[in-house]
Structure 1
Amino acid sequence: MELYTVQFSLFLAVFYVAYLLFFKKETFFNYNRIYLLITPRLALLLPFIILDFLRPKDSTGATFINLPPVLLGDFAVAAEEIQAGNNNLEAFNWSQFLWQNGFLILYGIGFCVAFLLLIKKWNQFIKFKKSGIQKQQEGIFYSEIQNSRIACTFYNQIFIGSEINEKERQHILQHEWVHVTQNHSLDLLFFEILKLLFWFHPAVYFYQKEITSLHEFIADEKVVRNSSKITYYQNLLNVAFGTHHISFINQFFNHSLIKKRIVMLQKSKSAAQAKLKYLIVLPLIAAMLTYVSCSENIETVETNQSDLPAPPPPPAPPTEWLLTDGTENYGVIEVEDINNLTDDENRRFRELSKKIIEDKVMYKLVITDGENKKVYDFDKNSNIETDGVPFSAIETVPTYPGCDEGSNNTIRKQCFSDKIKDFVNNNFDVGLGKRLGLTGKNRVYVRFVIAKDGSIKDVDSRASHPELQKEAERVVNSLPRMQPGMQDGKPVNVLYSLPIIFKIE
C-alpha cells in the first residue's frame, strides 16, 4: 500500500503541475475540465499497470527474482500465535508494532477525521435544504431559501435565497441550470471521495478548487451568449450576500472567484493550435508507466540484514573457448549438454561467432560436450541466430501448478510466492535446527533456476551449517515441475533467490 500511495501521490502532483504550467490560462474550459477529471483517474490506475518490456535489461540471460522469506521453526509458531489472536500484552512489543504499522495508523486517523468533516458538511446541506420552498420560473424548478441571498446547486437541485431580486434571479437560474445539465456536482463529489481516501495530499484539494473555478467559467460563458455582459458583471459585483461554505455544491456567489470570473469573461479566446499542448499528457503517461514497471515492491521481514549470509557465489564459468592453430583455425566451446545450452553458453556462442565474422580470426566453431560436437562454418556473410535473448523482466513469469495460467504476472507472482511458502513449510525438517544444537536466528539463502522445461536446476545454498544447506537444497529440488517463463514466445530460464529464516529458542 505504501508504494501505491507514493506512486499515486507523485503522479497526481506531476499532472497538477502540468496543468498549472500549460493549461490553466487557456480558455478551453471544457478541455480543462476533462483533463482535471481524467488525470486523477490515471494516477489511480497507472500504479497497477506493469509493462515488462519497459524494464531495464541485463546480460545474464535470466531473471533474478527475490522471493519473500519463508519463516520456519519458532518464527512460524510465533506468527501463528499472533494470527490466532494471542493477547499476551507483556510479550507484545508495542513499539515494534507502532513502528511497523505507523503508516496505517496515521492514515486511519486522517481518514476518520476527513470522514467526520464530510458528514458535517452533509448535515449543513440537509439543514438548509429542508428550509427551502419549491418554486418554478421559466420552466426551471428551484428551492427558495427564506431570508437569504444564497445561490447554489447540488446535483439537480437549485437553491436561491428569497432576498435576491427578480432581475438577478433570472441570470442566476440560467447560470445554475448549466451546473445541473452538465452534472458539475458529480465532479465535486468525485473529489470529495478522493479527499476522503487521500486526505494528506494537497494536490487533491487544489484539483477540487480548480475544477470549481472551471464550473463557474463554463456556466458564465454559456449565460453571456444570450445576455449582456455588462448586466452580468453588475450581478457578479452585487455581493451583499451570505453563503454556506460547502465544498461539494456549486455556489454562484463565491467571493474568491468573482474577480477570476470577470477576468475570464473578458479574456480573448485561446488560439485553436494551443490545443496541441494537451498532447504533453502522452509522454507524461509513458514516463509514469516506465517508473511503475521499473519499481519493485519487495516484501521484507523485520530482521538484521547484516546477519544474513552472503549470497552463494556464482557458478564457475565454463571452460574458455580455445583458438587453435593447425590446418584450419577454429574455436571450441565446451558445454554440459549440447542439446540444451544454457543462457551463458548461448551468450558465449554469440560473442565468439561475432568475433569470427568481424575479426576473421577463425572459420570454424565447434561446440562439444565431450561425447558430441557440432561444427559451424562462417564467412563474412554469415548470419548469427541464437535463442538466448538477454532480459531482466520476462513477458510471462513461471507458473506454479495450481495457479491460474491465464492471470497477469502480478497475480501469478503472488500465487507462486504463496505456494513456495506452503511447500517449504510442509516439507522442510523444522526440527533439524534443534537436533544440530543451533540457537537464535539462523538463515539459509537458496538460489535455484526454473529451466526452460519447467524443471528445477542449479540449486545452490549458503547457511551457517552444512546440514541446513543440504536440507534446503533437498526441499527446493523436490519442488514440482513448473510452467516455464516465456519471452518472445520462447521458454527461458528464470533465477530465483529464496531466504529461509529460523528462530530457535
Structure 2
Amino acid sequence: MIHYVIQIVAFQLLFLIVYDVFLKRETFFNWNRAYLLGTAVLSILLPLIKIESFRNVVPQVYTFSFPKFAFETQNPIVLNEVVLKGTSTSNSILSHVPNILLLGCILALLYFLFRIFQILKLAYTNPKVKEKDFSIIQVSNSTLAFSFFHYVFIGEKIKTQERESILKHELVHIEQKHTWDLLFFEILRVVFWFNPLVYMYQNRISDLHEFIADSKAIKQNKKQYYENLLSQVFDIKSVSFINPFFKQSLIKKRIIMLQKSKSRKIQLLKYTLLIPVVFGMLLYSSCSQDRPTKDVAKQEYRVSNESQEKASSEVLQSIADLKESIAAKGSMTDEEKNALKTLMMLVSPDGLKEPYFKDVVKYAEIPYGVIEQVPAFPGCEKVETREESINCMSKELNSFILKNFNTNLSNDLGLTGEQKISVFFKIDANGQIIDIKARANHPDLENEAIRVVSILPTMIPGEQDGVKVTVPYYLPIKFQIKE
C-alpha cells in the first residue's frame, strides 16, 4: 500500500513538472484541462498496471562459472508454509498510520460535506430566478460572484453594469461543466488528504477554468471586461470547488493570459511528451512488481533454457575429460575430487547412477527431481513413499518452528501486519543442517529464523543409488501480527 501511494505521488510530481515547464503558459486551455484531468487519473491507474513483457526489456546477464551455475540450478524441496501468530502492543507511530489516514479521510469528508451544505443553504435561503438552462441566486447583502453546477450566485451589491460580464463568464463554467472537474479533485483530496500534489492539481485546474471562461466571455466587450476585473475585489468564500468570478490572487494572471497571443499550433507537439513519460512510468511500475512468495524458490534458481543447454554441454565435456584423465592414472587427486564435486551437481540423473562416480556422489547436492530417497525427520523414516516423507518432514518442521520461534519479536520490534520470511538450508550427508540463509523485511526476523532452523535435530540423510547425499530445502514462513 505504501509503495502504491509513493508511486502515485512520484507520478503526479513528474506530470506537474511537465505541465509547469512546457504547457502552463500555452493558450491551449482545453488541451491543458484534458492533460490535468487525464494525468491525475493515470497517476492512480499506472501503478496498478503490470505489463509482464516490460520486465524483459533489459535482458538479464548470466555468469556461467560452474559454482554459480551449480547454486542457481539446484531445485530445492519446497516445504509447506509455516504460519506464526503474534501480537503487537507497540506505540510506534508506524503502527498507527492506517488509523491516522482513515481519520484524516473522515475529517476531510466531513469538511467537504459542510461546505456543500453552506452552498445549498445559500441556494435555498435567497431569491432565485429560473432561466432556461440555469438559475440565478440573488445573494442578499453580499458581493459574492461564483457558479456551482447550474447555479450562478450574484451578490445584490454588485453594480448592474457589471452583472452582464459576470453572468457571461459564469455561464461558460456552467456550459463546460467545470464544477465536475473541481469535485473530482475534491474527492481526491478526501482520499489523499495528505498529498500536497492533489491540492496543486486542483489549483491549476481552477486557474484554467478562469482562463477558459475569460477567453470566451471577453469576445463581446473587451474594455468593459477589463474594467470589471480591475474595479474591485469581490467577497469570495473559501470554497475550493466553486468557480468564483473575482479572486484577488488570480486577477493578475487572468489579465496577463488575456493579453497573450494565441499559441501556434506547432506547440501542440509538446503534448507528445506525455507518451515517453507514460511509457517510462509503465516500465517502472511493471518492473517493480514484487515476486509472489510461492515462486521464490523457482526464481532464486532460475536460468534460461538456452543457458542450461550451453552449460550442460560444457559440463558433459568436462566430465568426459576428467573421466579419461582419472582412468588413465588409476587415481584421483584432491583437485580432481573438488572438480567432480562441482560437476556432479550438474550431471544428469542417468549420470548419477554410473558406478564410476559413486565415490564422489556424496559431495554433490542432489536436486529434488533426481534424488531417490529424500531426507527424513526423526520418526518419519518408516513412511513408504517419497511424498509421504516430504509431508511428514513438513509437519514435524512446522511443529518445531511453531514451538521454538520467538513470536514476542513482533512486540519488541513494533511489527504489524503480515511478515514474510524465506529460509533456505541444506541437509548434508550426515543429516546436519548446513548453509542456512534467510530473507525478511527485518534483520532480526532473519536471525531468528536462522537460529530456529539451526537447532533442528539431526535428520536422516537422503540417499542416491545407496549413497548418502546433500539435499537443498526451501521453507516459507508467514508471521501474522495483530495489534
For residues 159 and 112 of structure 1, the distance between their equivalents in structure 2, rounded to whole angstroms, comes to: 29
Alignment partners' CA distance in 1, 2:163 and 2:156: 10
Equivalent residue letter for 1:464: S
Distance 1:29 1:137 in 2: 28
Structure 1: give runs of 5+ residues left out of the alignment.
Answer: 80-91, 301-310, 318-340, 353-367, 373-424, 449-459, 473-495
- Distance change (3 Å), C-alpha of 1:197 and 1:427: farther
RMSD of Structure 2 on Structure 1 (CA) = 4.4
- 1:102 deviates by 3.3
> Which residue is 1:57 aligned to?
59
Q: Report deviation, 1:34.
A: 0.5
Aligned to 1:95: 90
SS at match of 1:160: strand
Q: Could you tell me which amino acid in structure 2 is paired with residue 275 of structure 1?
A: L
Q: How far 1:134 moved relative to its partner?
A: 1.5
* Residue equivalent to 1:439: 404
- Give the letter aligned to residue 4 of structure 1: Y
Q: Is the 8 A contact 1:69 1:501 kept in 2?
A: no
- 5+ long unaligned stretches in structure 2: 63-68, 316-346, 352-389, 408-420, 427-433, 437-452, 463-472
Equivalent residue number for residue 12 of structure 2: 12
Q: Secondary structure at the match of 1:144?
A: strand
* Superposition pairs of residues 292-331 of structure 1, within 5 angstroms: 292-297=285-290
Larger radius of gyration: 2
1:54-75 CA-partner distances (Å, limit 9, x unpaired): 224324599999xx99763xx6
Shift of 1:117: 2.1
Identical aligned residues as a percent: 35
- The answer to whether residue 140 in structure 2 is matched with residue 146 in structure 1 is yes
Paired residue type of 1:445: V
Following superposition, the deviation at residue 165 of structure 1 comes to: 2.6
Give the direction of change, closer, same or farther, for the CA distance of 1:435–1:171 in structure 2 (3 Å limit).
closer
Partner of 1:348: 311
Query: Who is 2:24 aligned against?
Result: 24
* Contact 2:81–2:475 under 8 Å retained in 1: no
| Structure 1 equivalent of residue 176 of structure 2 | 182
Partners of 1:470 and 1:210 in 2: how far apart? 70
TM-score (structure 2 length as normaliser): 0.62
Separation in structure 1 between the aligned mates of residue 29 and residue 73 of structure 2, nearest angstrom = 48
Which residue number in structure 1 is paired with residue 454 of structure 2?
464
The structural deviation recorded for 1:257 is 1.2
> What is the rounded CA distance, in whole Å, between the counterparts of 1:110 and 1:69 in structure 2?
43
1:485-504 equivalent positions in 2, closer than 5 A? 498-500=475-477
SS in 1 for 2:112: helix
In structure 2, C-alpha distance between the alignment counterparts of 1:502 and 1:130, rounded to whole Å: 57
* 2:127 match: secondary structure: strand
Residues 109 and 136 of structure 1: is their aligned pair in 2 closer, same or farther, counting only changes over 3 Å? closer
Equivalence for 1:251: 244
Partner of residue 42, structure 2: 42
Of 225, 230, 233, the residue aligned with 2:226 is 233
Compared with structure 1, are the counterparts of its residues 44 and 348 closer, same or farther at alpha carbon in structure 2 (3 Å cutoff)?
same
Equivalent residues of 2:133, 2:150 under 8 A apart? no
CA distances 1:36-71 after superposition (whole Å, capped 9, x unpaired): 100010001000111222224324599999xx9976
Q: 1:344 to 1:445 in 2, by over 3 A?
A: farther
Is the Cα–Cα contact under 8 Å of residues 445 and 499 in structure 1 kept in the other structure? yes
**Residues 501 and 215 (structure 1 numbering): CA distance in 2 closer, same or farther, change over 3 Å?**
closer
- Measured in 1, the distance between the counterparts of 2:73 and 2:283 equals 18
In the alignment, the residues of structure 2 paired with residue 461 and residue 260 of structure 1 have an alpha-carbon distance, to the nearest angstrom, of 68
Structure-1 residue corresponding to 2:3: 3
CA 1:498–1:51: 2 relative to 1, 3 Å: farther
Q: Which residue of 173, 191, 211 maps to 1:217?
A: 211
Change (3 A) 1:445 1:156: same
Q: Which residue of 2 aligns with 1:168?
A: 162
Which has the larger share of helix?
2
Going from structure 1 to structure 2, the CA distance change for 1:370 and 1:470 (only over 3 Å counts) comes to closer
Instruction: From the superposition, tell whether residues 138 and 265 of structure 1 become closer, same or farther in structure 2 (CA, over 3 Å).
Output: farther
Distance 1:118 1:468 in 2: 65
Change (3 A) 1:142 1:428: farther
Alignment check: 8 A CA contact 1:174 1:223 kept: yes
With over 3 angstroms needed to count, the CA separation of the structure-2 counterparts of 1:123 and 1:439, relative to structure 1, is same
State how far apart, in whole Å, the 2-side matches of 1:347 and 1:216 are: 67
Structure 2 vs 1, CA of residues 207 and 428 (structure 1 numbering), >3 Å: closer, same or farther? farther
In the alignment, what sits opposite 1:420? none
Tell me which residue corresponds to 1:208.
202
DSSP-derived class of the 2:90 partner: helix
**Deviation (angstroms), 1:123:** 2.4
Matches of 2:422 and 2:50, distance apart in 1 = 31
1:146 counterpart letter in structure 2: S
Q: Distance in 1 between matches of 2:79 and 2:127?
A: 66
1:258 Cα deviation from its structure 2 partner: 1.3
Provide the rounded CA distance (Å) in 2 between the counterparts of 1:14 and 1:168: 41
Corresponding pairs, count = 351
Mapped partners of 1:436, 1:209: distance in 2? 56
Instruction: Answer yes or no: is the 8 Å Cα contact 2:146–2:153 preserved in 1.
Output: yes
What is the rounded CA distance, in whole Å, between the counterparts of 2:458 and 2:245 in structure 1? 74
Distance 1:183 1:502, change over 3 A: closer
Q: Given that residues 441 and 502 in structure 1 are in contact (C-alpha distance below 8 angstroms), is that contact kept between their aligned partners in structure 2?
A: no
Q: Do the aligned partners of residues 468 and 51 (structure 1) sit closer, same or farther apart at CA in structure 2, a change above 3 Å counting?
A: farther
CA deviation after TM superposition for structure 1 residue 348, in Å: 2.7
Quote the Cα distance in structure 1 between the aligned partners of 2:211 and 2:282. 33
How far 1:349 sits from its partner (Å)? Answer: 6.5
